[in-house]
Amino acid sequence: MLAPLRPDHRELLAARETGRSLPAPFYVSPEWFQHDVDEVFSKQWLFVAAEAEIPEPGDFVTVNFGTQSVIVIRADDNTVRAHHNVCRHRGARLITEPRGATGTIVCTYHSWTYDADGHLTYADAQDSGFDRKCFTLRSVHVRTIAGLVFICLADEAPTDIDEVAEIVEPYLAPHNLAQAKVAKQTDIVENGNWKLTMENNRECYHCNGHPELLNVFFPIWGYSSTDTVPDRLAPVFNRYRISTAELTEVWDRYGLPHRNIFQLDTRPTGFHIEREAMDLAGESFTLDGSLACAKLLTDDLPERKLGRVSMHLQPNMWLHITSDHGLLFSVIPIAPDKTLVRTTWLVHRDAVEGVDYDLNRLTNVWEITNQQDADFVALAHQGISSPAYLPGPYGPSEVLVEAFVNWYITTLRTNMGVAAAEPGTAPMDMGSHMAGKAAAS
Amino acid sequence: MLAPLRPDHRELLAARETGRSLPAPFYVSPEWFQHDVDEVFSKQWLFVAAEAEIPEPGDFVTVNFGTQSVIVIRADDNTVRAHHNVCRHRGARLITEPRGATGTIVCTYHSWTYDADGHLTYADAQDSGFDRKCFTLRSVHVRTIAGLVFICLADEAPTDIDEVAEIVEPYLAPHNLAQAKVAKQTDIVENGNWKLTMENNRECYHCNGHPELLNVFFPIWGYSSTDTVPDRLAPVFNRYRISTAELTEVWDRYGLPHRNIFQLDTRPTGFHIEREAMDLAGESFTLDGSLACAKLLTDDLPERKLGRVSMHLQPNMWLHITSDHGLLFSVIPIAPDKTLVRTTWLVHRDAVEGVDYDLNRLTNVWEITNQQDADFVALAHQGISSPAYLPGPYGPSEVLVEAFVNWYITTLRTNMGVAAAEPGTAPMDMGSHMAGKAAAS
Amino acid sequence: MLAPLRPDHRELLAARETGRSLPAPFYVSPEWFQHDVDEVFSKQWLFVAAEAEIPEPGDFVTVNFGTQSVIVIRADDNTVRAHHNVCRHRGARLITEPRGATGTIVCTYHSWTYDADGHLTYADAQDSGFDRKCFTLRSVHVRTIAGLVFICLADEAPTDIDEVAEIVEPYLAPHNLAQAKVAKQTDIVENGNWKLTMENNRECYHCNGHPELLNVFFPIWGYSSTDTVPDRLAPVFNRYRISTAELTEVWDRYGLPHRNIFQLDTRPTGFHIEREAMDLAGESFTLDGSLACAKLLTDDLPERKLGRVSMHLQPNMWLHITSDHGLLFSVIPIAPDKTLVRTTWLVHRDAVEGVDYDLNRLTNVWEITNQQDADFVALAHQGISSPAYLPGPYGPSEVLVEAFVNWYITTLRTNMGVAAAEPGTAPMDMGSHMAGKAAAS
């Protein structure tokens, strides 16, 4: 069905040099963008929504990836289902609203009607031989983890999602996101390739460009011990160590796991999870670090100062959770140079706007930060589009960027059946976890 | 000159299964769009204007198809001519206005001047060896049928247009469209492939989505006799039969042919023509079915209640004529997902706006209907663009859709020299009518 | 690295017939546009700025060609340098402003810092093995001629720029443009291929479409002697001869060279330079031909009436200089059908707006003319986009158009290693001047 991989693409994929940013075609070529859609976004688990967006049976969101559209809907049995948003009659898009609640899914065009499980329940004026059972909506894999909804568009989804869930649920579940409510959700379109969006997320080497966010971050990225920390950073590193020691006691007291787990480029569903202290008041993502929401996420963790849980998951999400709110990010490629970044702020279901939290104060720092990041991504895309661009070196503080790129290259190689030019340089064998992968040629 | 047909395109064209909507590439791929431009719109007869738009010598309209532009102009001998809108000097577009009146066609760039027959009459500052006769405008086939102007861009046009004219002129000519005037013309751009526009036109299975239009239609599509009509439709079917019987007497009294002729997929210039009764007052396309224009189209048919003549012609037109006005539709592909629909309302040349007709009342129902159809076409295009789309089944009321698709596939196969995968499934031999077709390989 | 030239492109390039406009693909095909970017604009000398735009050390302009961006900056030693506007770290665009002044070039993303010579002077948080000397900005060839800045993006630039400079500097240098100041600069985007912009510039056969400009032009293009001039032009031709004779004395008195040198299609850096008389007051590009700026460009030429120096240089510039101002034009392809035309008006550095010149009077005629030309180019592009377009004949007044097209075809043939279909038709051997050319196959 598919055309064979172009020889120059095969070569490019085989030859990628570690420790440097990718060659330009990966970021700017429409053909590589299609590879990303076909081999990454159509095969991996993707974070698409919070369960809090669809609390009741019949609640739905639609998620659009390029030309694909998926209905994520809560069924009567309270489980989450996902269906392709395409009528089985003549293909009309069924739901155009981004979110809503409905008893049945009715096609506007000729009134074909489906239930939340996707079964065709009505189709007017058909011959007696017409069998409704042949026209169930095409379903999509769906999986929830601690209140996060993931889908996979492949026929067979990567199976390691279960292992990942087992590891990360103990970190996430205590924060009760599944029972939270959406305080705000924003979409911005960045003028750059989705991988530049992810790379930008995966380092804080650029965080001098985020003066508002920087208030609550300890700017010690790239330094692992006092030995290597430059003198100017010694005070902040010390503050970081004290704060971490204090918080570790708190975390242990509540049985909250806090080991830094780094599996970003060693499995199909690559991820990283950690708990970190924060600077200033150390409570939340505000200008002074104090709470943004007076009502904490859960009564079971009655501590204002909990630091943050941060998780990064390949290919398209990251999150931060403080004591008072959760902050979810999902990334959707739109075009080689256009990427949607969706940010969702979650607070306790019973928190009241204007009483427990001021919406502007809750969202202010990350709305500013998102716009700054969008500017950085646009600059990177502009420069990389020049024929004069050469892949440049990652420094010590860009280790998560390298891990993302590494995961990306390995995933493409695995899914497209391309071996590394120098055997042994691949950092993982992802094949054993990977369902539905292309046969190696 | 042309690249050979891609093997996957050849296979897709050979394999099309009848009774279902087309596979997605036919609707969404830019390459198939180019096939449609090259093999359908550049080879078939296309409806482009009413003669009423260019009543006097020198009157012209320009018709743009993609990158093509054609001048349709009435010459001094009152016949209609068509020329490519391209200067023979350095190729400048000659006329940019959509319509107007002119004695000569003067290029704005260097003042080369042509007459209405396309002859170059002036070119300044040339050598003595310059021969104006070598630079006549390139002409386009043009044909009028009962006041409708058709052009064909091919070197050799399908010859069956004469047979079609002979059949349909007796239906159309009594309504005097050639002597009418344009009351209004609107252009809307639908966000879908042109074939979705045509398919949408070719069934009323979706007409519950047209509550305004539905007033004057009998919603019995898909049912051919009282035996199969469901109980809820029995009254309307009965009303339809009575109305048809009454009108048949009227039609016969005036010698108006009314046999339903269905040749949509059995000839190059496929068409369908019929006379039908209408509901409520039964006179015109208004909310209550009563006249929209007090002055009827012709004094020779002094009956308010005549039902409608409807004609569908492949690939790009349909029309309806009632006693008081004619309603012409032409369809122009702009891009894989953009289609121009032009609607023209014709009334008696002497009808006076504000006296004989209210323009809003005349156009209201179809302006609403056009917008509803545009929405349906956009939904269909969105859904079909998803990789999850599968061709779905046509029901009994979608027989004209199947005929359109069948004609389309057969035309492409004929023009591109591709045989059906299963010999014998093609419903017609169009080759004998088809001039200028590609050689079978 | 590059894909081999498509056979149909090779054939088209080999077959071009002289004396006619080019076949349509040269103007409208995206692939040919890419050839133009790769083989013309990435290999030839391009006019990009006036030195007057960057008078002081640290002054810069950025020049964007398609996806390329180049910083043209005056260094501390007062020479002009050019660097690719791409950070050597992760490729971010360094400068986004079109012009400005700066001590150092600092990347917004991660603060890598370069000096005006392109050396990396700062990169935070790197390993001890990091060598800044490996990450100098990639440089671009740059050359100034009498106040005009040219760059070349190729590894090896055409060497005949030195010969061209030697010929044209005696014409240009006396007018002191290097010491002038920018009175105004405008950018307009024409909706046509860049070659149509150039062709339009290279003839005045269309100048009846420029009634304002025509005031000061003698409309005798295409006629070389009184023998061939038509009667209606005899008076103007006579006026032209008298005016030229008078001016020749003036030019000789000041030692200003005035021989018409026509090397447009006989060398890689093809050019044409001449001095011409102007009509009416004959001093400047105003409606009545009188001065637009009371302060002349240089005290060394205290003559209001000097006629004009006009230079055309392949592929992307032309200029006119009168006694009171210089007028520079540069052309940048944006897309197959989009072209940037930048116009720069230069006056004496000490001329004061509102005192010595009225800005509107200075720019009025050419702002109108530019818009008229943009309309012509758009018409030409529209018409040529039609499949009905055929290359048409150049007349006697279009000799510079033919020279441009000839130069273009020969340059592509040379750079792409394609021989003319009929040996001996090529008007020049450009290979001996041409560095970095593709090997002939």
Looking at residue A220, its pLDDT comes to 82
Closest chain B residue to the Cα of C221, Cα to Cα:
B125
Tens-digit pLDDT profile for residues C233-254: 888 999 999 999 999 999 999 9
B92/C379 CB distance under 8 A: yes
Q: Which of residues 216-255 of A touch C (CB under 8 A)?
A: 221-222
What is A374-405 written as a DSSP string?
HHHHHHHHHHHTSTT----B--GGGHHHHHHH
A86/B383 CB distance under 8 A: yes
**Distance from C-alpha of C300 to C-alpha of A139, rounded to nearest angstrom:** 83
Chain C interface disruption, residue of A382, A399, A404, A405, most C CBs within 10 A? A382
Higher pLDDT, B288 or C1: B288
CA distances from A386 to A379, A383, B151, C92, C194 (A): 11, 6, 47, 10, 20
A92/B376 CB distance under 8 A: yes
Closest chain A residue to the Cα of C92, Cα to Cα:
A380
Chain B interface disruption, residue of C12, C373, C386, C400, most B CBs within 10 A? C386
- Compute the nearest-CA separation of B9 from chain A (Å): 12
- B15 interfaces chain A, CB cutoff of 8 Å: no
- C57 interfaces chain B, CB cutoff of 8 Å: no
Which chains, if any, share at least 3 CB pairs under 8 A with chain A? Answer: B, C
For chain A (441 residues), the mean pLDDT of every run of 10, in chain order, is: 78 94 97 96 97 98 93 96 98 97 96 97 91 97 98 97 98 98 98 98 95 92 72 89 96 98 97 97 97 98 97 98 98 97 98 98 98 98 97 95 98 94 54 34 28
* CA within 13 Å, CB half, C332: 19
Enter the DSSP assignment of C97: S
Give C-chain residues touching B84 at CB under 8 angstroms. 386, 388
A85/B208 CB distance under 8 A: no
- A91 interfaces chain B, CB cutoff of 8 Å: yes
C108/A28 CB distance under 8 A: no
- C209 interfaces chain B, CB cutoff of 8 Å: yes
Tens-digit pLDDT profile for residues B123-134: 998 988 999 999
Closest chain C residue to the Cα of A222, Cα to Cα:
C125
Identify any residues that bridge with B80 across adjacent strands, giving them in sequence order. B74
Looking at residue A400, its pLDDT comes to 96
Enter the DSSP assignment of A122: E
Chain A interface disruption, residue of C90, C97, C108, most A CBs within 10 A? C90
**Distance from C-alpha of C50 to C-alpha of C406, rounded to nearest angstrom:** 28
Closest chain A residue to the Cα of B395, Cα to Cα:
A126
Tens-digit pLDDT profile for residues C44-89: 999 999 999 999 999 999 999 889 999 999 999 999 999 999 999 9
> Are the beta carbons of A115 and A71 closer than 8 angstroms?
no
State the sign of the Cα–Cα–Cα–Cα dihedral A28, A30, A33, A35.
negative
Q: Please check the confidence at residue B434 and state whether its pLDDT lies above 50.
A: no
Closest chain A residue to the Cα of B378, Cα to Cα:
A92
Token pair, residue C228, equals 């061939």
- A127 interfaces chain B, CB cutoff of 8 Å: yes
- A51 interfaces chain C, CB cutoff of 8 Å: no
Does this chain's domain B46-144 share its CATH topology with B160-384?
Answer: no
Tens-digit pLDDT profile for residues C282-321: 999 999 999 999 999 999 999 999 999 999 999 999 999 9
- C432 interfaces chain A, CB cutoff of 8 Å: no
- A21 interfaces chain C, CB cutoff of 8 Å: yes
Give me the residue from A24, A222, A385 closest to C125, CB to CB: A222
B380/A92 CB distance under 8 A: yes
Work out the percent of chain C whose per-residue pLDDT is above 90. 86
Strand boundaries in B20-74, DSSP class E: 46-50, 59-65, 68-74
C90/A21 CB distance under 8 A: yes
**Distance from C-alpha of A21 to C-alpha of A192, rounded to nearest angstrom:** 15
> Are the beta carbons of A174 and A253 closer than 8 angstroms?
no
Topology of A160-384 in CATH? Naphthalene 1,2-dioxygenase Alpha Subunit; Chain A, domain 1 (3.90.380)
**C-alpha angle A258-A261-A267 in degrees, rounded to nearest 5:** 150
- Compute the nearest-CA separation of C258 from chain B (Å): 27
Higher pLDDT, A323 or B65: A323
Give me the residue from C21, C379, C391 closest to B93, CB to CB: C379
Q: Which of residues 158-187 of A touch C (CB under 8 A)?
A: none
Q: Please check the confidence at residue C129 and state whether its pLDDT lies above 80.
A: yes
pLDDT band at B226 (very low <50, low <70, confident <90, very high): low
C87/A21 CB distance under 8 A: no
Give me the residue from A84, A96, A111 closest to B388, CB to CB: A84
Closest chain C residue to the Cα of A380, Cα to Cα:
C92
Enter the DSSP assignment of C90: T
Token pair, residue A259, equals 């080991």
**Distance from C-alpha of C74 to C-alpha of C58, rounded to nearest angstrom:** 5
What is B282-293 written as a DSSP string?
-SSSSTTS--SB
A307-316, C9-18, C425-434: segment of lowest average pLDDT: C425-434
Looking at residue A423, its pLDDT comes to 56
Looking at residue A65, its pLDDT comes to 85
Enter the DSSP assignment of B92: -
- C262 interfaces chain B, CB cutoff of 8 Å: no
Tens-digit pLDDT profile for residues C356-396: 999 999 999 999 999 999 999 999 999 999 999 999 999 99
Token pair, residue A385, equals 């589009």
- B&C contacts, CB < 8 Å: 83
Specify the DSSP element, H or E, that contains A37. none
A96/B379 CB distance under 8 A: yes
Token pair, residue A424, equals 């042994």
**C-alpha angle B49-B51-B52 in degrees, rounded to nearest 5:** 105
pLDDT band at C434 (very low <50, low <70, confident <90, very high): very low
- B19 interfaces chain A, CB cutoff of 8 Å: no
**Distance from C-alpha of C47 to C-alpha of C312, rounded to nearest angstrom:** 11
Q: Please check the confidence at residue C438 and state whether its pLDDT lies above 70.
A: no
State the sign of the Cα–Cα–Cα–Cα dihedral A173, A178, A180, A185.
positive
A397/C84 CB distance under 8 A: no
- Compute the nearest-CA separation of C2 from chain A (Å): 10
Give me the residue from C21, C222, C386 closest to B90, CB to CB: C21
Quick check: helix, strand or coil at residue C295?
Answer: coil
Identify any residues that bridge with C332 across adjacent strands, giving them in sequence order. C340
Specify the DSSP element, H or E, that contains A438. none
C392/B85 CB distance under 8 A: no
Q: Which class does domain A46-144 fall in?
A: mainly beta
Looking at residue B439, its pLDDT comes to 28
Domains of chain B by residue range:
46-144, 160-384
In sequence order, the 6+-apart residues with CB closer than 8 A to the CB of C230 are: none
- A&B contacts, CB < 8 Å: 83
Kindly report the average pLDDT of chain B as a whole number: 93
C383/B92 CB distance under 8 A: yes
pLDDT band at C432 (very low <50, low <70, confident <90, very high): very low
Buried b (16+ CB within 10 A) or exposed e, C348-377: beebeeeebbeeebbbbbbbebbebbbbbb
